[in-house]
Structure 1
């Protein structure tokens, strides 16, 4: 009876944590509402790989995040998303030996699969101390329950260069192989990503150069696909500024081989904050500070009972880029504990391409 009661208390405590997360208008960023006792990002980070591909328990929150634009043999388009989140209920020092339910680490995963007519979502939760979820740097693996991102890099390769990726929901699943065709991209100022003029920041890098092949499974059966993928790694202990209500984030693969990441952090009390990064067709990377890129919504769509800006114009005047993005499926709403819009997009204008758009805070 005592053991059963303890399990119930743990479960209810876990549910209370997730309920608090989902109540935040800032979505994922609101999960890090108190940084006291946790490590904070500092300028001029010195990343160490493969160690930094693994978890950072002295920081409040981090995630491993993959999106992929895929095409079947018949030309039909698909998009997938895979995210593993780690959030700590209290600071954990390197010597912390808390195990089982006493571990402060909470994990949850989101997955999605989208085509022009359908949008599937799934979420799963776990506590890291009992082995249900976690991440290791070498060999690289990140998992939650039976969802997994597993490294299979060879000698001399970065641990993220070759990955197996899988997840499933009630009506979908996917199993994909990712192979990097270029180097890791450090976002922001050499990996120090400032989120507002007030100084909130994260450590942030990406691997935007994956080629993908594999299979997606839908109610109609399996579909063989190929395409491109983008991985983000980010960790911090700081929430957004109190007046920042959410973000609109793009990762774009352009047809000439260039890559563009840009996001708008919406601010109720002042101008929005819009940093970006660009990798040219020659592989040269460039940080674009706030103000260099313009993001303008040009069309809203009624989605899940709310108006969401699903079509956008993106202008980087100094780079000769003036594009518009259109979603593959306007109804790509992730109706999860933390609700948000996320789905594949197509790019037209001065550049052609494809990519992903994520929008939080439209609640």
Structure 2
């Protein structure tokens, strides 16, 4: 009887311990998620007193008009992902983003200008993972954008063309570790995705933006390696993928982060898969296939299977899934995506992992992935 009592008591203690452990794990997980949400909403959350043009489903992107700037919307950004190769066969993955965000809807000049500009760059190669980031307020000449001719700049970083459209254009970036000067030529069509540019981010939440993809750029120029004492100039050529997005609700309530996958399925076809993650709602997944002739195939969320397969741990306690399964049966796509490097986590305004990835399965290709909010 005494022995039975001891076993029963031990069972009660173990049950209580397991219960407390489960509660603690769930509490920590919830706290981490709330910290992510609070951090993102603190930086970019919309306030009720701000009045910007809404993103409506009956409004569509028009080109070349929408290469112009959109100050009536709260934010817009441009992003280039480039795969460059030098004469010695070395590959360099360059990701550059130029971002405008209005802190409020006032029209003001000088230091009262509410426009905030952020630009960052990542170069991944045998040289390592090299990064830099710039910030500036608009209205003081340090950063801004013009439409005629097209130009965006922050400090000495700039993307400019000699016409009202961005291409042909020249991108010039210089950091302490490297510099790059690229001539960008568009060999395909600038393509609005979603409903002619209206790109929704959830079925049941009022979240959407306008989005244009330009995935068939031809690039040539010079990469300067400043890590060498001789500052070696390296000629490079390659392919680039430019994207532009604009809207008035950058993150939205309970937004946590997103996962972006960009792959060249062939010389004339690319795949874009995006997952938006929320604290209290199911993730929303969208996918688009774009041809170099501008043909767009939008794939419904229900027809996409996207799941993480394994997680990599980063200090301090960050966990990021760097191996994924993407399946789109209607397009005969079934691939396993694996990050090529494990050390590409960058600590920008919103920390994220980004870099080259390769696939196996129905398509053996390489591409680029960006994972944020982990």
Task: Give the TM-score normalised by the residue count of structure 2.
Answer: 0.82
Aligned match of 2:327 in 308, 315, 325?
A: 315
1:78-124, Cα deviation, whole Å (9 max, x unpaired): 111111111112114xxx4x211121111111111111561011111
1:121-171, Cα deviation, whole Å (9 max, x unpaired): 111111110111111222111111111111245xxxx81331211212221
Aligned match of 1:207 in 199, 211, 214?
A: 214
Match of residue 111 from structure 2: 101
Q: Does the aligned pair in 1 maintain the 2:44–2:251 contact within 8 Å?
A: no
Counterparts of 1:278 and 1:48 in 2: how far apart (Å)? 19
Question: Where in structure 2 are the equivalents of 1:165-204 lying within 5 Å?
Answer: 165-197=171-203, 198-204=205-211
Counterparts in 2 of 1:25 and 1:260: CA distance versus 1, 3 Å: farther
Match of residue 151 from structure 1: 161
Counterparts in 2 of 1:28 and 1:316: CA distance versus 1, 3 Å: farther
Counterparts of 2:63 and 2:325 in 1: how far apart (Å)? 36
Aligned match of 1:45 in 51, 59, 63?
A: 59
What's the Cα RMSD here? 2.4
Match of residue 302 from structure 2: 291
Counterparts of 1:29 and 1:326 in 2: how far apart (Å)? 32
Alignment of 1:360 onto 2:360:
no
Aligned match of 2:269 in 258, 276, 284?
A: 258
Counterparts of 1:66 and 1:26 in 2: how far apart (Å)? 26
Match of residue 82 from structure 1: 96
Q: Does the aligned pair in 1 maintain the 2:289–2:297 contact within 8 Å?
A: yes
- Structure 1 unpaired stretches of 5+: 1-21
Deviation at 1:280, TM superposition (A): 4.2
Counterparts in 2 of 1:86 and 1:252: CA distance versus 1, 3 Å: same
Match of residue 77 from structure 2: 63
Deviation at 1:222, TM superposition (A): 2.9
Counterparts of 1:149 and 1:119 in 2: how far apart (Å)? 22
Counterparts of 2:140 and 2:97 in 1: how far apart (Å)? 20
More moved, 346-355 vs 70-79: 346-355
Counterparts in 2 of 1:138 and 1:58: CA distance versus 1, 3 Å: same
Aligned match of 1:231 in 233, 238, 242?
A: 242
Deviation at 1:359, TM superposition (A): 1.0
Larger Rg: 2
Counterparts of 1:27 and 1:145 in 2: how far apart (Å)? 26
Match of residue 343 from structure 2: 331
More moved, 224-233 vs 236-245: 236-245
Aligned match of 1:33 in 38, 46, 54?
A: 46
Match of residue 28 from structure 2: none
Counterparts in 2 of 1:137 and 1:29: CA distance versus 1, 3 Å: farther
Counterparts of 2:264 and 2:361 in 1: how far apart (Å)? 14
Q: Does the aligned pair in 1 maintain the 2:45–2:253 contact within 8 Å?
A: no
User: Alignment length, in residue pairs?
Assistant: 333
Q: Does the aligned pair in 2 maintain the 1:31–1:61 contact within 8 Å?
A: no
Match of residue 3 from structure 1: none
SS at match of 2:66: helix
Higher relative contact order structure (alpha carbons within 8 Å, sequence separation ≥ 6): 1
- Structure 2 unpaired stretches of 5+: 1-34
Counterparts of 2:189 and 2:87 in 1: how far apart (Å)? 29
SS at match of 1:189: coil
More helix by share: 2
1:283-322, Cα deviation, whole Å (9 max, x unpaired): 5311112222222222322335322112222211110011
SS at match of 2:330: helix
